[in-house]
Structure 1
Amino acid sequence: MPDVLIVGAGPVGLTAAIAARQAGLDVEVVEAAAPDRSRPGSRAIYYFPPTLRSWERLYPGLGRAIADAGTRVDRVSCHRSDRTLFDVRVSSWLSGAALPQHDVERLLRQALDELGVPIRWESPVWWTRSDPQGVELELRSGETLRAPYLIGADGARSVVRDSLGIALRGDRAATEFVMADVAAHPETALPRRGVRFWYDHPVARRNIVQMGYGSGVRVAVQCTTAEDVERLSSPAGIRECVSTVLDPWHGEHVEWVARHRFQQVVAESYTDAHRRVLLAGEAAHLFAPWGGRGINSGLMDGSESAQAIAGALREPERRVEIIDRCAARRRTWGLHNRELSGRGLQQMRAPLPMLPRRRAGVWNWY
């Protein structure tokens, strides 16, 4: 029987597994998907400097490998129509790395493999139960797994969270956005190292975010009506929009399109009644993506949960206190990051009458 089961082999679950193994725990990761799963889109792409340093501490060379594989976010500019509000360089100490999620997962799996931690692929979870002695995990195959502790990192539709009856609290944004991944032209002079915000883009006449990442560019487009969402998320609509914002070549090389109405929610508790389960990542919170608060907060959830479980196993007489402290700390960070991502979302959908100075404040919290 392992010391800890980790449900989910995304970046959060993999990071939790590395942290648990480095703390001396016997770990098993359970993942519903197949090892060769193919998921469209770059998904989470921005990793804060503290996240890169945390990976480096957990497994020397890992943070550096992810930073080197990604694109340094070393410039931020903000524009209102055709007027620049600010254009600043970001120091190397403060600049993070932009890298598609599947590339990050590949590097994390490589580290986990080197540590000898198994991943049980194609093992969707049916139910989770906890009791004073530990956690029981029932797989859809009918097999049952048991461990003293479990980290639920199984995403927004978390079976672990739902099984334990833990609710998400918060709001859903009224404004929808369309997000597109666009291939990078091999010879283009288009800036890819950094983030550009447009409020009332001079041609598209809507709010736009552009962010470069390694092999491509992420473009996020604010929608105004239901018809707007349908049009912009269609092949012809997104091609026209990207051609307007970037250029016609990029409009013809859109690789992925998704529509989002972002939730701003946090779990009412990050642990169960018996203090045997800790929630991490999107199992614990869902935020608008502006600023990378969701993925970076989730990665810290995972590593701190693993360390707390290691402490609880070392000091069983204090285990409730240790788990409670971790759950409370991570939930406090979840509430804080929800506020900050909500502030970013508010700025992103700001009406034109707002003062440019207020709009420029979008980076004050980043």
Structure 2
Amino acid sequence: MTHVMIVGSGPTGLTLAVELARRGVDLRIVERSPEPPTGVRGKGLQPRTLEVFDDLGVIDEILATGRPYPSLRSYQGDQVVWEGRMDEPREPSAGVPHPNLIMQPQWRTEAILRDRLAELGHRVEFGAEVTDVEQDADGVTAVLGTGERVRSAYLVAADGGRSTVRKRLGVPFRGETYDSERMSLADIRTRDLDREHWHVWGSLAGRSVHFSICPLPGTDVFQLVAPHSGRAGERDSGPDSGRDDLLALVAEHAPHVRIDEVVWRSEYRVNIRMADRFRVGRVFLAGDAAHVHSPAGGQGLNTGVQDAYNLGWKLALGREALLETYEDERMAVAEHVLGLSTRLYRDNDLKRGGDTDQLGLAYPRSALSAGERGGERLGAYFAEQRGTGFLLVGEVTGEHGWPVLPPLPGQEGVLLVRPDGYIGYHGDESGLSAYLSGFGIAAPRADAAS
């Protein structure tokens, strides 16, 4: 029996697969699509996600092939009327090693994660659609379109906003779908714009944007994003569908810009929804299967990555008391982020601040968080955090078996840092054993610690 079955191979499913694979957990990851995607959907990787990718061993490739977001250039026709930035670049620091938003086409992020997964001995099974899910006290059975029945101890649905698994579980997906607010995405080629700016037509001050054209790093294409005012289309409807609408839109507002080719095009309706539950028995919901956002602020992809990073170590340890915390921790975050992305969308504001970088997200009310700093992101010792174990920070007298690092300035008591970089326990060393036993966490033997 497979320990964990992952349904869906977007950034959420792949992050979880890499996290489990590096821990030696037996897994399968299946994807209904017959092949990897090509079009660009999400493209922004937030600082906290970059920290996760650092830990997972893919940050060098992410940074080498991506780039910081370019400055904005706003036009009326062919005249530049404003230039500025989404936010000001920040220098790396001890507490924030990856401070800036990185632009990286989603298809490449997924390819980098698939390569890392292959290094760890696993591959995505494409063309494997889950059509039904059954579970009992001992495990979960996923039924594939081929008729194969896959038995696993746990199943994670990372199969998107239209999640088959969520529907089969009967979990409500509450929120709103804005049928009148559709967006067109297109990957295009043009020789009439430079690749050093994000080009915008419309009034940023008046919060009325006709369309934007953004160069995608490491490619010869741009991403065009526009409110869709034509007839309803199908998602992923191919490069030719809607081409005339796009050409007319650009010709109306930017007649000097010629689109040489529409490489890929998709249309989507704005959805803002969250599942009533993130866990049903042995099945967990993550990423868009659990929450879908407006595109504003680049939160959706990043929140899914954080879901996977939160869940992975808990599944690997397999303690019920740990698994129970996933839903509470991530539902609170998803609710907060949904509110943030919705406000940004309604404001139609391309400028961003620190609220979107996800560095301030924490779990202060979690059952796993004990003491004054419990639930906080540690924000230190990043090199030492790489890997799969816990850390102890502070003056420790007993033998606990985990790496022990010097206390932070002004720190009192000891900090037990979870494998995902958040502080679990903050308090006297004498209370640490009771905390650990409450969640079934066993410290490694001192003579076996690395």
Aligned residue number for residue 115 of structure 2: 110
Question: What does residue range 320-331 of structure 1 map to in structure 2 within 5 Å?
Answer: 321-331=321-331
* Offset, 1:139: 1.3
User: Tell me, what secondary structure is at the counterpart of 1:141?
Assistant: coil
- Kindly state the Cα deviation for residue 332 of structure 1 after the two structures are TM-superposed: 1.5
Question: Unpaired segments of 5 or more residues in structure 2?
Answer: 92-97, 235-240, 357-450
CA distance, structure 1, for counterparts of residue 5 and residue 233 of structure 2: 40
Match of 1:176 among 167, 182, 191: 182
Matching residue of 1:124? 129
Distance (Å, rounded) in 2 between the aligned partners of 1:330 and 1:245: 42
Question: 1:76–1:90: 8 Å Cα contact kept in structure 2?
Answer: no
2:293 is aligned with 1:287: yes
1:271–1:106 CA distance, 2 compared to 1 (3 A): same
In structure 2, what residue type is equivalent to 1:64?
A: D
RMSD, aligned CA: 3.1
Superposed CA deviations along residues 52-100 of structure 1, whole A, max 9, x for unmatched, are: 2201102x2x122012112321535678996538545422543222222
Q: What does residue 190 of structure 1 align with?
A: 194
Aligned twin of 2:264: 256
Partners of 1:85 and 1:308 in 2: CA distance: 46
Q: Corresponding residue for 1:67? A: 63
Kept in 2: contact 1:201–1:207 (CA 8 A) = no
**Aligned residue number for residue 312 of structure 2:** 306
Report the AA paired with residue 251 of structure 1: I
Larger RCO, structures 1/2 (Cα 8 Å, 6+ apart): 1
Residues 1-366 of structure 1 aligned to structure 2 (within 5 Å): 1-34=1-34, 37=35, 39-58=37-56, 60=57, 62-76=58-72, 83-84=81-82, 86-87=84-85, 89-91=88-90, 93-173=98-178, 174-183=180-189, 185=191, 190-192=194-196, 195=198, 199-200=202-203, 206-214=209-217, 215=219, 216-223=221-228, 225=229, 234-243=242-251, 248=256, 250-272=258-280, 274=281, 276-311=282-317, 313=318, 315=319, 319=320, 321-348=321-348, 363=353, 365-366=355-356
Larger CA Rg, structure 1 vs 2: 2
Distance 1:219 1:78 in 2: 14
> 2:190·2:259 contact (CA, 8 Å) conserved in 1?
no
* Whole-angstrom CA distance in 2 between matches of 1:338 and 1:80: 32
- C-alpha distance in structure 2 between counterparts of 1:360 and 1:249, whole Å: 22
Partner amino acid, structure 2, of 1:42: V
Range with bigger deviation, 212-221 or 250-259: 250-259
Give the structure 1 partner of residue 448 of structure 2: none
Paired with 2:256 and 2:74, the residues of 1 have a C-alpha distance of: 23
Please say if residues 78 and 360 of structure 1, whose CA atoms lie closer than 8 Å, have aligned partners that are also in contact: no
Normalising by structure 1, we get a TM-score of 0.81
> What one-letter code is carried by the residue in structure 2 that aligns with 1:270?
F
Contact 1:182/1:250 (8 A) holds in 2: no
CA contact (8 A) 1:71 1:212 kept: no
Gaps of 5+ in 1: 349-358
Supply the AA of the counterpart residue of 1:190: D
Cross-structure match for 1:354 = none
Cα distance in 1 for partners of 2:60, 2:132 equals: 38
Query: Taking structure 2 as the reference length, what is the TM-score of the superposition?
Result: 0.67
Q: Which secondary structure state, in structure 2, belongs to the residue aligned with residue 12 of structure 1?
A: helix
- Cα deviation, residue 248, structure 1: 4.7
Distance 1:121 1:180 in 2: 24
Q: Aligned to 1:52, what secondary structure does the other structure show?
A: helix
Cα 1:344–1:77 shift into 2, 3 Å: farther
Q: Pick closer, same or farther for the CA change 1:234–1:145 going to 2, 3 Å.
A: closer
